[in-house]
């Protein structure tokens, strides 16, 4: 078991087209993302800046925006689904 990350189309050029990735042994959203950055070169600078997420990147755990939880410190468990999405839609 691992945490599954859903990757938006805008990032698939650095994941070799993969729409999902599994990350093992992560206990927080921040660790999940670090695991993802280790798997794919060039991913970190796309969505993160100075150790934080860029301002138009949304991350969800089980459909809930992590800003309503504990941000990058939000705990995750095996089997959780983490979704990365652009924040520039709607209205």
Partner 1 sequence: MGSIEALQCKECRASYPLEARFVCEHCFGPLEVSYDFSGLEAESTKRRIQAGPNTIWRYADFLPFERPPVTALAAGVTPLVRADRLAERLGIGEVWVKNDAANPTHSFKDRVVTVALAKARELGYEVVACASTGNLANAVAAHAAAAGLESYVFVPADLEEQKILATGIYGTNLVAVKGNYDDVNRLCTELSAERENWAFVNVNVRPYYAEGSKTLAYEIAEQLGFELPDRVVVPVASGSLFTKIARGFEEWLEVGLVKGELPTMNGAQAAGCSPVATAFEDDKDVCRPVKPETIAKSLAIGDPADGPYAVELARRTSGSVEAVGEQEIRDGIKLLAETSGIFTETAGGVTTAALAKLAREGEIGADERVVLTITGEGLKTLDAVRGSFETHEIEPAASAFAEEFGPAPAAKAAASGV
Give 1 or 90: the residue with its C-beta nearer to partner 1. 90
Q: Which is nearer to partner 1, 29 or 57 (CB)?
A: 57
Q: Which of residues 69-88 bind partner 1 (CB under 8 A)?
A: 83, 85-88
Q: Which residues contact 63 (CB under 8 A, 6 or more apart)?
A: 83
Asked if residue 47 binds partner 1 (CB under 8 A), the reply is yes
Q: How far apart are CA 10 and CA 47, in angstroms?
A: 10
Contact between 65 and partner 1 per CB under 8 A: yes
> Which range binds partner 1 by CB under 8 A, 6-14, 23-31, 32-40, 72-80?
6-14
Contact 20, 5 (CB under 8 A): yes
Place of tokens 């921040």: 30
Q: Is 59 in the site for partner 1 (CB under 8 A)?
A: no
Between CA 53 and CA 17 the distance in angstroms is 22
Residue 9 contacts partner 1 per CB under 8 A: yes
């Amino acid at each position: 078991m691992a945490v599954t990350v859903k990757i938006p189309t805008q990032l698939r050029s650095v994941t070799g087209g993969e729409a999902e990735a599994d990350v093992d042994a992560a206990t927080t959203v921040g660790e999940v993302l670090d695991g993802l950055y280790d798997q794919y070169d060039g991913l970190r600078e796309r969505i993160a800046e100075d150790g934080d997420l860029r301002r138009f990147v949304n991350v969800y755990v089980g459909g809930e925006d992590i800003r309503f939880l504990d941000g990058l410190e939000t705990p995750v468990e095996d089997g959780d689904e983490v979704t990365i999405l652009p924040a520039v839609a709607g209205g």
